[in-house]
């Protein structure tokens, strides 16, 4: 699909507006729709959050944009997620920008969508070899650096919380095991094997870990739905619904079982110590 990239000015904007015009529907090109709908004809545009914030406009309003001193009136029909150019972007059809002059609709590049399972890198390399050096074929995506940074921060915090939870379980099980060391000695005296000892100690916390995981999953989802929009608002972005509804059935089950996993990992060290302690030493402990 042909893509034309231009710059324009608009009332209320202190800098140039980046305009991306497509000769077709741009829904598949990587833009996430926050609200509204995609442009369906000439004179309709979708804008990023930064444009709405800077101009005070809203979805459904009309505004004027000027290409080289040639103004055209457009209607904002949707808001898209785009952090480039501080969100001062506009997406529309080439038929819209052609109203300012035919040269504004001339394509600057062509976007190619691949079938599922195809390698974008391999396709770009093959296309580059066929086109030669006078053309550039490259993999392009619209991943947001801001969102990538936010996800990295969230991932780091999640890892830290998991480590803290594991250390807390280790401390609790260690104290509990030391308090029950005499009971362990009795169990060992009547034939409990080291493996059975480890299993018993792990079972002390596995049920609690499962309950914690089941309770924490809905709480975590609600926190995610609250925190992510707040973080995005700090960068003057609005979050599309697709960014919030990211958990499927399999992911929810794995997250619930993560509580059991953290509990088991935290209990392994004390369980190993309980399995190695001698029966006589355990029986004489108080």
Domain boundary among 60, 88, 111: 111
- Considering the domain architecture, whether residues 177 and 60 belong to the same structural domain is answered as no
CA gap 133, 11 in Å, rounded: 41
Q: Which of 59, 105, 57 is nearest to 79 (CA)?
A: 59
* pLDDT 10s digits, 230-281: 878 877 788 888 888 877 778 888 888 888 888 888 888 877 877 777 665 6
CA gap 54, 11 in Å, rounded: 9
Domain boundary among 111, 136, 164: 111
Q: Is residue 139 part of a domain?
A: no
- Considering the domain architecture, whether residues 104 and 151 belong to the same structural domain is answered as no
Q: Is residue 131 part of a domain?
A: no
Angle among Cα 10, 57, 74 to the nearest 5 degrees reads 55
Domain range for 251: 145-284
* pLDDT 10s digits, 151-168: 788 788 888 887 887 788
- Considering the domain architecture, whether residues 160 and 280 belong to the same structural domain is answered as yes
* pLDDT 10s digits, 97-152: 998 887 888 888 888 888 888 888 899 899 888 888 888 888 876 666 666 777 78
What is the total count of domains within the chain? 2
The DSSP element (H or E) to which 19 belongs, if any, is strand 17-22
- Considering the domain architecture, whether residues 153 and 241 belong to the same structural domain is answered as yes
Angle among Cα 192, 198, 202 to the nearest 5 degrees reads 130
Q: Is residue 120 part of a domain?
A: no
CA gap 106, 267 in Å, rounded: 66
| 3-class state of residue 246 by DSSP | coil
CB 228 within 8 A of CB 244: yes
Domain boundary among 87, 111, 135: 111
**pTM exceeds cut of 0.75:** no
pLDDT at 267: 81
To the nearest 10°, report the CA torsion of 241, 244, 246, 247.
-130
* pLDDT 10s digits, 177-194: 777 776 667 776 777 787
Is 170 or 279 the better-scoring residue by pLDDT?
A: 170
Q: Mean of the pLDDT values across residues 70-80? A: 92
- Considering the domain architecture, whether residues 56 and 168 belong to the same structural domain is answered as no
Q: Is residue 137 part of a domain?
A: no
For 254, residues 6+ apart whose C-beta sits below 8 A from its C-beta are none
- Considering the domain architecture, whether residues 229 and 157 belong to the same structural domain is answered as yes
Q: Which of 82, 80, 63, 50 is nearest to 10 (CA)?
A: 63
Q: Is residue 135 part of a domain?
A: no
CA gap 51, 41 in Å, rounded: 21
Q: Is residue 69 part of a domain?
A: yes
Judged by phi (left if over 0) then psi (alpha if -120 to 50, else beta), residue 116 lies in beta
Residues belonging to the chain: 286
pLDDT at 284: 55
154-157, long-range: CB within 8 Å, 24+ apart, which pairs? none
- Considering the domain architecture, whether residues 99 and 203 belong to the same structural domain is answered as no
Q: Which of 269, 241, 276, 200 is nearest to 81 (CA)?
A: 241
CATH classification of the domain holding 90: 2.40.40
């Amino acid at each position: 699909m042909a893509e034309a990239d231009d710059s324009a000015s608009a009332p209320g904007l202190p800098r140039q507006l980046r305009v991306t015009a497509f000769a077709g529907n741009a829904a598949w090109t990587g833009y996430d729709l926050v609200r509204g709908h995609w442009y369906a004809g000439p004179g309709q545009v979708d804008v990023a959050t930064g444009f709405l914030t800077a101009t005070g406009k809203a979805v459904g309003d009309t505004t004027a944009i000027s290409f080289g001193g040639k103004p055209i009136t457009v209607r904002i029909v949707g808001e898209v997620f785009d952090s480039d150019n501080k969100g001062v972007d506009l997406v529309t059809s080439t038929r819209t920008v052609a109203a300012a002059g035919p040269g504004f609709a001339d394509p600057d590049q062509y976007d190619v969508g691949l079938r599922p399972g195809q390698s974008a890198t391999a396709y770009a390399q093959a296309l580059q070899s066929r086109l030669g050096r006078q053309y550039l074929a490259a993999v392009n995506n619209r991943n947001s650096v801001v969102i990538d940074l936010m996800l990295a921060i969230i991932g780091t915090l999640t890892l830290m919380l998991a480590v803290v939870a594991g250390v807390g379980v280790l401390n609790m099980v260690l104290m509990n095991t030391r308090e029950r060391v005499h009971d362990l000695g009795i169990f060992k005296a009547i034939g409990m094997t080291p493996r059975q000892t480890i299993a018993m100690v792990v079972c002390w916390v596995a049920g609690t870990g499962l309950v914690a995981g089941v309770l924490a999953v809905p709480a975590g989802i609600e926190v995610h739905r609250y925190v992510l929009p707040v973080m995005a608002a700090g960068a003057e972005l609005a979050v599309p619904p697709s960014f919030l509804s990211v958990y499927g059935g399999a992911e929810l089950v794995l997250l619930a079982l993560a509580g059991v996993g953290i509990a088991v990992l935290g209990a392994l060290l004390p369980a190993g110590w309980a399995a190695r302690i001698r029966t006589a030493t355990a029986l004489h402990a108080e």
